[in-house]
Amino acid sequence: MNRVVIVGAGQAGCSAALKLRALGFSGEIILIGDEPMAPYQRPPLSKAYLLGKTTAEALQIRPLSLYRDQRIELRLGCRVIRVLPHARRIETSTGSLDYDHLVLSIGARPLRLDPAIGGALGNVFTLRSIADVDLIRPVFSAGSRLLVIGGGYVGLEAAAVAAQSGLDVVLVEMADRILKRVACAETAAYFRALHAQHGVRILESTAVRRLDGNGTVARAHLSDDEVLATDLVIVGIGVKPDIALASEAGLKLGNGIEVDVFGRTSIEGIWAAGDCASFPYAGRRIRLESVPHAIDHAETVAANICGAHEPYVATPWFWSDQFDVKLQIAGLNANYDRVVVRRGGRPGAISHWYFGGDTLLAVDAMNDARSYMIAKRLIAAGITPDPKSVADAAIDPGLLLKAYAVSADRKRVSLAGEV
Ligand SMILES: Cc1cc2nc3c(=O)[nH]c(=O)nc-3n(C[C@H](O)[C@H](O)[C@H](O)COP(=O)(O)OP(=O)(O)OC[C@H]3O[C@@H](n4cnc5c(N)ncnc54)[C@H](O)[C@@H]3O)c2cc1C
């Protein structure tokens, strides 16, 4: 037998399966997913799909015919309920299956609001799957009063789409500002202002004490004693990897399923990739929730199943669309101590550059694809520009890359080209 079984037919699972074939793996590939659809892209769920501008079919990552052509067996609507590592076998809702290699790409599940405070009422939704949005859409109509709980990217994107669709939107964030976990105060201020311009009311340092209503949500009681009349609620308070399967199998867990630089879990023959996996990065262990990471991580796992022995080097990047703003993020902003603001060449273009000591860590670029592209290349190369040059809008960031080309061995490069 020469069989790879992949559990979780999302972005990572699909990428692992296709990469195995691309690398010449000739054995059986079985991709198992508990959702009824073939792998699809999640980012449009809180953007074009919620807005009603695209169809579920259009979200499919690859056409069904490709899986057939590539001899990838899709088992959809099938849940894996147990992994028996010693027997190299899994049990699923439709029977058991042996494997040589098992890839866990089971993603993450949205955190829900506690039923004790109204989380189980009707019209209280999470936003992770096509099925979730299909439940939201019938009540997502102009004039409805939407409460978004959570000021992260998913919550803010949902709020933006709702405002564009004519809903009356309030967003509450328990922390003292939106995007607290993922972005600097400058980026948060930019998006707060953008939402305010479009009529979204953002309440920071505000929690929902409880929701009430007669079967369906009708009111939200907030920590500042305000009571909001509410027709629907979208809960965007983060996700958590579902570790029950991995835990029962005896895999090492931390913040998700722990893998080494090659994507191997603590048990021989079992690999993990994507949102569900925590991996070593710059001397610590992190978990990333993004499409580019899911693809790259899964492809590295596929290569290593084929014997490449290739370490995974993450080059984190992410994007978010809100109203007419495209945010592009390069790098990881953990442990920064200052942020340099750079005005872009076009009206409304701006970028925020995060530095930790002498190192450029990350950049948030708003409608500024050029700064983003350059920052991404610099971060990947480990090159830090002079913060003064970054702040000088008169200096074309392209000069930095030119400077880098002639001084690749140096660590500090000025945008003016003086090294
Ligand atoms: C609304 C939304 C907007 C987003 N926007 C962006 C964005 O703009 N940019 C960006 O980079 N990223 C974005 N993301 C994040 C990105 O979509 C995820 O990081 C990516 O989908 C992770 O891929 P994955 O394959 O690891 O997990 P998933 O895509 O979650 O796939 C895992 C699959 O495994 C299935 N599964 C779980 N357990 C089992 C089991 N026991 N048996 C069988 N199947 C199982 C799950 O149901 C799921 O289908 C967004 C996510 C959401 C929800």
- Cα of 389 vs centre of ligand 1, distance in Å, is 38
pLDDT at 398: 74
Give the residues surrounding ligand 1 with Cβ less than 6 Å away.
7-13, 32-35, 42-43, 45-46, 79-80, 105-108, 127-128, 154, 242, 245, 274-276, 289-292, 294, 318-320
pLDDT at 319: 95
pLDDT at 401: 66
Q: Where are the beta strands (DSSP E) in 309-393?
A: 317-322, 325-331, 338-343, 350-356, 359-366, 384-385
- Cα of 324 vs centre of ligand 1, distance in Å, is 25
Contact 68, 17 (CB under 8 A): no
- Cα of 315 vs centre of ligand 1, distance in Å, is 19
Q: Which atom of ligand 1 is nearest to the CA of 242?
A: 38
Pure H helices in 177-289: 185-197, 244-249
- Cα of 11 vs centre of ligand 1, distance in Å, is 6
List Cβ neighbours of 211 (8 Å cut-off, separation of 6 or more).
113, 117, 118, 119, 121, 124, 217, 219, 220, 221, 230, 233
Q: What is the largest CA-CA distance in the chain?
A: 69
Contact 227, 211 (CB under 8 A): no
| Whole-angstrom distance, CA of residue 75 vs CA of residue 91 | 13
pLDDT at 348: 87
pLDDT at 100: 98
- Cα of 326 vs centre of ligand 1, distance in Å, is 21
Q: Ligand 1 atom 12: the closest Cα is on which residue? A: 290
Q: Ligand 1 atom 30: the closest Cα is on which residue? A: 107
Contact 183, 333 (CB under 8 A): yes
How do residues 20-72 score in pLDDT, each as one tens digit?
999 999 999 999 999 999 999 999 999 999 999 999 999 999 999 999 999 99
Contact 273, 285 (CB under 8 A): no
- Cα of 200 vs centre of ligand 1, distance in Å, is 27
Q: Which atom of ligand 1 is nearest to the CA of 288?
A: 19
How do residues 356-392 score in pLDDT, each as one tens digit?
998 999 999 999 999 999 999 999 888 888 898 899 9
pLDDT at 326: 97
- Cα of 20 vs centre of ligand 1, distance in Å, is 20
Q: Which atom of ligand 1 is nearest to the CA of 44?
A: 3
* Best of 80, 270, 289 for a ligand 1 pocket test (most atoms within 8 Å of beta carbon): 289
Q: Ligand 1 atom 53: the closest Cα is on which residue? A: 128
Q: Ligand 1 atom 5: the closest Cα is on which residue? A: 43
- Cα of 344 vs centre of ligand 1, distance in Å, is 33
List Cβ neighbours of 319 (8 Å cut-off, separation of 6 or more).
43, 326, 327, 328, 329
| Whole-angstrom distance, CA of residue 364 vs CA of residue 301 | 29
- Cα of 419 vs centre of ligand 1, distance in Å, is 43
The stretches in the chain having pLDDT less than 70 are 1, 400-419
